[in-house]
Amino acid sequence: MKITVIGTGYVGLVAGACLAESGNDVICADIDETKVKRLNSGEVPIYEPGLEPLIQRNLRAGRLRFTTDTGKGVESSTVIFIAVGTPPEEDGSADLRHVLQVAKTVGLAMNGEKVVITKSTVPVGTARLVREAIEAETEHPVHVCSNPEFLKEGAAIDDFMKPDRVVLGVDSDHAAQVLGELYAPFVRAGAPILMMDVPSAEITKYAANAMLATRISFMNSMAQLCERTGADIDAVRKGVGSDSRIGPSFLFPGIGYGGSCFPKDVKALRKIMDQLDVNGSILDAVEDVNSIQKETLLERLTQRLGDDLEGRIIAIWGLAFKPNTDDMREAPSIVTVEGLLQCGAEVRAHDPAAGEEARALFGDRIQLVSSAYDVLDEADALVIHTEWHPYRHPDFTRMKNLMAEPLIFDGRNIYDPETMDREGFEYHSIGRRTAGL
């Protein structure tokens, strides 16, 4: 099929590359000339495992190209994906200005029947607004559908190529047939294509992210309870997750969720519910717990070392909100680093991918180091924010010899307290006993 994807952010790039990989002729359009030039040379501006070679391979094959001429892309395609950003407004609602501007552009460029799909995460009712914006500019028939993405940063290529399910909100038999054929290569292993009405598809995305965020916040509340009672959150997690009605996924405690999806989608869903007079207090609790949890490591460190950290060196392992991404949007590390700086600490940090993002956020206020061990030199404490694989099995003897004090605050529970006892560390984690005291 001939496809145009409008927007070359995270979702648009992954969708465009994967659709090209399955044999389609794909144009990715964006208004950023510099970005488009970089992409046409095979340079990918985001860190996502496997994405750069996928884009380079399909560029060489001629199945994928990038352009700033959105109208020409619309004219030459029968299927158009809208994948532009929907940043949160001050009140938490999704900003649809970019989506609706693209819809107008699509309408102006229409030269025949098109299937237009909102891939951006948008509130229920957006497809109707998109249809109105398109139809205001053209008399050609248009089918406006919803196809929410369920991509995990760090595993997005696998998620697209081998999805758990494909959710399609369709408005006609024609759209159902076109999109069914488009996604057929991705579900050969038996994953379902769930055809539904458009509003249901729009709500599904928000509901899924809000449910996952709720599980995370619930387990973080349970971790706090475990710490106050002497229980072990790992044992509780296994006991709860073994229930077939609940399952083990997203039951790991930590220092709160971040990234581009959960924070803004929970806020947006809460705003939608408020507008429609639906009780959304459960989401208020999810957000409150998450905000409190992000303060956890800073609070514990200052309780242990004091509020005045002048002259103290604090080492940070991990800045991205999760492994295998450079995304620091809403990352818990931001709360910790800013707090440490306010307390006068010297902050040294290592992250395998998020260096550029950290420089944009912190400038020269922190020292970014290329080696995970080098940040430990004479450090008074180590704080772990991200469970990158290289951090999971370190040389503890080397760490202990480098640090001024063998003190670790682990926000991701990547080590075993008994092991840390044996290695001679004072080890603070989430929802478990403190080792080394």
| Dihedral sign for Cα atoms in the order 317, 262, 116, 99 | negative
Residue carrying structure tokens 């959150």? 233
Closest CA to 327 of 82, 122, 167, 151: 151
Q: Catalytic residue, from 18, 28, 261, 343: name it.
A: 261
Closest CA to 415 of 427, 403, 402, 401: 427
Closest CA to 318 of 342, 348, 341: 348
Residue carrying structure tokens 């004219």? 75
Q: How far is 183 from 126, CA to CA, in rounded Å?
A: 23
Say whether 261 is catalytic. Answer: yes
| Beta bridge partners of residue 321, listed in sequence order | none
Cα separations (Å) of 371 from 279, 311, 382? 49, 22, 14
CB 286 within 8 A of CB 269: no
Q: How far is 395 from 425, CA to CA, in rounded Å?
A: 13
Tokens read off for 129: 């607004």
Q: How far is 389 from 353, CA to CA, in rounded Å?
A: 12
Residues sharing a CB contact under 8 Å with residue 140, sequence separation 6 or more, in sequence order: 110, 111, 112, 113, 114
Q: How far is 278 from 282, CA to CA, in rounded Å?
A: 11
Q: Return the active site residues.
A: 261
